[in-house]
Amino acid sequence: MPLTPEPGTGHVPPKTADFGPSSTDPCAASPAVAPAEGAGWAPVALPMGASAAGRPDAASPSNAAPPLRVVFLGPPNAGKGTQAAMLREKLGVPGITTGDLLRREAASGTALGLRVKGIMESGGLVDDATVDEVVREHLRQVDLRRGFLLDGYPRTRAQAETLAGILAAAGPLDAVLLIAVPEEELLRRALARGRSDDREEVVRARLRVYREETEPLIGYYRRLGLLREVDGNQPIEEVGRALLAALEAHPV
């Protein structure tokens, strides 16, 4: 599936907020169970209300904290970007969004960046193979000892398998956080924004793409024992507390 912030829009949108390494979702996607067999770890537990200031410095060998590698999953308008930014601040874990990665790569002047820039400037969709390459290059360069919160990738089973391969040397994912919201509420949220491209038929088309291409990842990650599902149809602060609780339920 080609990368698009909200399937069907045809563009990677301009950056709307700067959260350092991450931002709100620019690429718009079961009870808690034990970590994947053989993974050897689960998410790091932090007290409710813990902040980045209270998290040990991963760069210091004497205070090294176990890395926390998390993927956000959910449909367009579920609030993944908002929650990812909030968790990044709470846990002190770097945030990564594919939209930000593509914009940075396009501005880098590298051969890969020039390819991404050409696709974006032409109004085309960035293909999966190019997105895979951008994500792989970024994760190769960052200090994975600090972990990450990844929003906007993977979107297909093939990309999930690519991500597993990228992480093979550094260690597997710790959790996949699914923010579940009823479709009619997702539609209501989209239409309430009043954007010209948020017509009902367009929003329903995005949701159809999500169901067909991304929703199967729910079963895939549940079978791996990584899925943590949270009710996203509640106030933002309540969703955030539920996500923290889902991580704390499976401490290292």
Q: Which are the catalytic amino acids? A: 80, 155, 193, 195, 206
Q: In whole angstroms, what is the distance from residue 242 CA to residue 74 CA?
A: 15
Which amino acid is it at 56?
P
Identify whether 154 is preceded by a cis peptide bond (ω within 30 of 0). Answer: yes
| Burial (CB count within 10 angstroms: exposed 0-12, middle 13-18, buried 19+), residue 69 | buried
> What does the block give as tokens for 65?
């904290």
Q: In whole angstroms, what is the distance from residue 84 CA to residue 181 CA?
A: 16
* Beta-strand runs (E) in the chain: 69-73, 95-97, 148-151, 175-180, 227-231
Residues in the chain: 252
Packing angle between helix 111-121 and helix 98-106, nearest 10 degrees?
Answer: 110
Contact status, residue 187 vs residue 204, Cβ threshold 8 Å: yes
